[in-house]
Structure 1
Amino acid sequence: MGRLLKTLLFALLWASSGVASAADYQLTIAGMTFGPAPAELHVGDVIVWRNDDIFRHTATARDNSFDVDLPPKSEARMTVGRVGTVDFYCRFHRAMTGKLDVRP
């Protein structure tokens, strides 16, 4: 079997194996509120935190697993690293809260 044919066969088998690829999700802050968290979040997915407010915010995990600084009208990317539920808040506006539910 030729090398090219083996490579194509492997690619087809891998693509049909049910292995999910990482996805990008946007979580927007507007009106001093975090938008809804993605419902189907998995390890390896990327959250694009977007701050549409005129105020500086953070997305800070209560378990200290992440702390994303978001100046006004900016965005930042974060790769999800572990399974579990993570509560987060804004360090500058503690009433702003949210929750990520991460699956394997």
Structure 2
Amino acid sequence: MRLLMKSLPLLFVLLWTGSGFAVAADYQVTIAGMKFSAPPAELHVGDVIVWRNDDIFRHTATARDKSFDIDLPPKSEGRMIISRAGAVDFYCRFHPAMTGKLDVRP
């Protein structure tokens, strides 16, 4: 019990300052003018990507490795949590010339 009481202040400081703990972040990738915006350079496992379709056409954000497939009707958005590290090429199933790449770190 004593050890626990002595450890609590240190645990509180670590949690409060964020030392040693990664905090997930939200990022947005927008589709406009039949193009994906540039994905963020600093993606990590656990981060959230909000895919936003500002076009008047239906699009998808589809991973070539089939790890995700987000359907995006016009003027809509979809969210996904990044679940693994590595490079993932993506495209729109309806417009295959629309492409991009996510580089995800652990």
Which residue does the alignment assign to 1:11? 12
Q: For 1:1-104, what aligned pairs fall within 5 Å after superposition?
A: 7-14=8-15, 15-104=17-106
Q: Which runs of 4+ in 1 moved over 6 A?
A: none
Work out the number of aligned pairs and report it: 103
Letter in 2 for 1:62: R
**Is the deviation greater in 5-14 or in 49-58?**
5-14
* Secondary structure of the structure 2 residue equivalent to 1:38: coil
Distance 2:49 2:26 in 1: 6
* Secondary structure of the structure 1 residue equivalent to 2:51: strand
Distance 1:45 1:24 in 2: 6
Structure 1, gaps ≥5 residues long: none
1:20 Cα deviation after fit: 1.6
Q: Per the alignment, do residues 96 and 13 of structure 1 end up closer, same or farther by CA in structure 2, a change over 3 Å counting?
A: same
Percent of pairs with identical residues: 72
Letter in 1 for 2:34: M
Contact (CA 8 Å) 2:46, 2:81: kept in 1 or not?
Answer: yes
Distance 2:80 2:18 in 1: 28
Give me the CA root mean square deviation. 1.8
* Secondary structure of the structure 2 residue equivalent to 1:12: helix
Give the structure-1-normalised TM-score. 0.90
1:8 Cα deviation after fit: 4.9
